[in-house]
Chains A and B, each alone.
Chain A
Amino acid sequence: MLFHPSPELNAWQYEVREWLASEMVEADAHADPLDLTGLSEDFERAHQRRAGQRGYLGISAPVEYGGGGKPPSWKAAYSYEAAYADAPSIDTAMTLAGSAILGFGSPAQRAQLLPPMIRGEVEACIAYTEPLAGSDLAALTSIARPDGDDFVLTGDKTLITGAHKADWCVTIARSDPSRPARESMTMFVFPLPYDGVLITRRPTANRWTLCDLRFDGARLPAAAVLGEVGRGWTQVTAALADERSGSAHLGWAVRLFELLVAWARTQDPDPVAADRLAQLDVELSTARRFVSRVVALQDAGQVPVVEASMSKIYVTELLQRLARTGVELLGADGLSHEVLFGPRAGAPLRGRFAYEVIERIHPTVSVGANEVQRDTIARLGLGLPRRGR
């Protein structure tokens, strides 16, 4: 089942592409290598506000909150284009927290949070991962101790994207440790900065930073509970499944492939390189179809868990092959590293593939390690028995 975009979507996507290209013309003047986007927070916020004004960030969100009310394929198309353009509007508040708040927020929370998220006026982060709970989220140990109508949070979250600049944080902690793990958790949404919440930045292998977040007796009111007390694990699982189409990864993959082909065409003809690139073309077209299938099913109102896991695995592993091939074809220049934006040092292809070969390590791990995705496909897609625990 492949997705066939309507002429209306095609026209809109073209408009988005042109707009994003114009947005990025001045990007070099706003570099910040310590941010995942490679760009300054000021530039990112201004860009997201403009995207919000144009209705892009909430294109598939309900009209009642200021969204565009379009099918999920439109949201996927925006993510694809933003990734292709290296624009700082991929990890928006809507992308990161939208499905959790739409799915589980109270009417008051939705009315308060969604309109500014859709307008691009706020940043958000999701703080789920802990030092001892990565793929195995059921192992998390942060505590949300009930105290009167409040909850007092203690514990450590780690590897969080963008907490240092976030205005809102969505998190999860154990509100009743006496219950079985999957019935013991509650989700919360609260503003940042916040008393008793300490955020520190840690440099990654590719120089930008991820955040650690420590709850040191942070007192959250009952109104900060997202969804139902005790239903956090089920809610988080559903929210994460909703976010996995792979369209942003596909945008990066197409960009890398195009850069590599354009570069190869300037070189002396090399049948070995041509064969390698042709194989990557075939794989890229497979990646497109895996994403296309997820989008088609989402538009049909389904939650394609197995197909989304396949798409995530395929596209993220293809990104690594693309980056690695780029380094290999570029030869000695392949390891010349440059920042994505800012002053140029003169490396061929702007050091893009040296940046990418490091950068694309994490997508096969994040948002559910590919091994966990394979477990999901084994169980739900192939009906294989689970090993007795």
Chain B
Amino acid sequence: MRHELHRRVDAARELGRTGAVSDHIARSLAVFLDIHDAKDTYAVGVRSGNRAVAGFAAVASLVLVVDGDDVWLVRPQARVPRELIGWTDSALVEFTPDSCPVQRSVGHAISRATIVAAAEAAGVAAAALSAAVAYATSREQFKAPIATYQALAHRLVDMRIAADAADLAVEQAVIEPMALHAARAKVCADHAAQVATAGLHQVHGGVGFLAGMPPPPLFARSLALSQTMGDARHHRALVARHHGLLT
């Protein structure tokens, strides 16, 4: 299982580096739940009442709806297309909890999929950093590469600090894949992806706002990942409960 997690984390980080939209996280959760079937295609979402919104939910044969330590296995009857930033084939699915199969107390699988999501966010952060460094060292304004300006150089450094923090957090979570480390890694990596992709946009200036330039897909993917396998607020609540600060 450790080896499987390691492999899936490495693959997630590489996917993050390309900014690719994939079902890797959903498929990883299916593997960790021990229900993976090559015939199925997967999506993963967070439960909100008897519905969930998720990327790939428009095409997935099985939508994994996470709710605390439980996962509902939803084979959608009806799907309402939704456009979600940073995803493709997104949809809202409704399900009837009373008649839907559910796996209860599978926190260990949820933690592992959370680490996979964090690894992908760490990859996005690393990709945004290297794209920003590449642009800043080639783009000239005021007769010098913009990377020579300290205000910009220091912003790049802060992106590097955030990206390194994310990689180290994921490294530790892989070694000790419990809920607490998974939560910390997700908060840390989401933050890194946000800092690095926002920085990438700023470094690229106006031209970076055009579709087809490097910043938009990475920025969008950082947003998508921030809402996958629990957002930062959800994971901070878990950390707060660990310290006895919330019941």
Residues of A within 8 A of B (CB): 1-2, 261, 264-265, 269, 271, 273-275, 277-279, 281-282, 285-286, 289-290, 292-293, 310, 313-314, 371, 374-375, 377-378, 381-388
Contacts and interface: CB of A to CB of B under 8 A. Distances in A.
30 contacts: A2-B172, A261-B245, A265-B243, A265-B244, A269-B245, A277-B240, A278-B238, A278-B240, A279-B187, A282-B183, A282-B239, A285-B172, A289-B165, A290-B165, A292-B168, A293-B168, A310-B160, A314-B165, A371-B150, A371-B154, A374-B154, A374-B158, A375-B153, A378-B154, A382-B133, A382-B160, A383-B133, A384-B136, A384-B156, A387-B149
Contact of B161 (A313, A384, A385): A313
Given A275-B237, A286-B169, 12 more contacts: A261-B245, A269-B245, A275-B236, A282-B187, A282-B236, A285-B169, A293-B168, A378-B147, A381-B160, A384-B148, A385-B148, A387-B149
Contacts of A264: 245
B147 A385 contact: yes
A289 B122 CA distance: 15
Contacts of B169: 285-286, 289
Secondary structure type dominating chain A contacts: helix
Interface string B204-247: 00000000000000000000000000000100111110111111
Q: A-B pairs with the 5 shortest C-beta distances?
A: A278-B236, A274-B240, A278-B239, A274-B245, A289-B168
A103 B242 CA distance: 45
Interface string B161-194: 1001100110110010000000110011000000
Given A282-B187, A285-B184, A293-B168, A384 B237 contact: no
**Considering residues A264, A281, A313, which has the most beta carbons from chain B within 10 angstroms of its beta carbon?**
A281
Contact of A378 (B157, B165, B171): B157
**Considering residues A269, A275, A289, A384, which has the most beta carbons from chain B within 10 angstroms of its beta carbon?**
A384
Contacts of B158: 374
A5 to B, nearest CB: 13
B68 interface: no
Interface string B119-160: 000000000000001001100000011011110011011101
A382 B165 contact: no
A2 B171 contact: yes
Interface of B: 133, 136-137, 144-145, 147-150, 153-154, 156-158, 160-161, 164-165, 168-169, 171-172, 175, 183-184, 187-188, 233, 236-240, 242-247
A2 B133 contact: no
**Considering residues B169, B183, B236, which has the most beta carbons from chain A within 10 angstroms of its beta carbon?**
B236
A277 B245 contact: yes
Given A278-B237, A384-B136, A385-B137, A265 B245 contact: yes
A261 B243 CA distance: 7
A278 B187 CA distance: 10
B169 to A, nearest CB: 7
A387 B239 CA distance: 43
Nearest to B164: A310
A384 B153 CA distance: 7
A281 B246 contact: no
Nearest to B156: A382
A210 B245 CA distance: 40
Nearest to B154: A374
Given A289-B169, A375-B153, A387 B184 contact: no
Contact of B153 (A282, A289, A378): A378
A313 B165 CA distance: 12
A275 B168 contact: no
A385 to B, nearest CB: 5
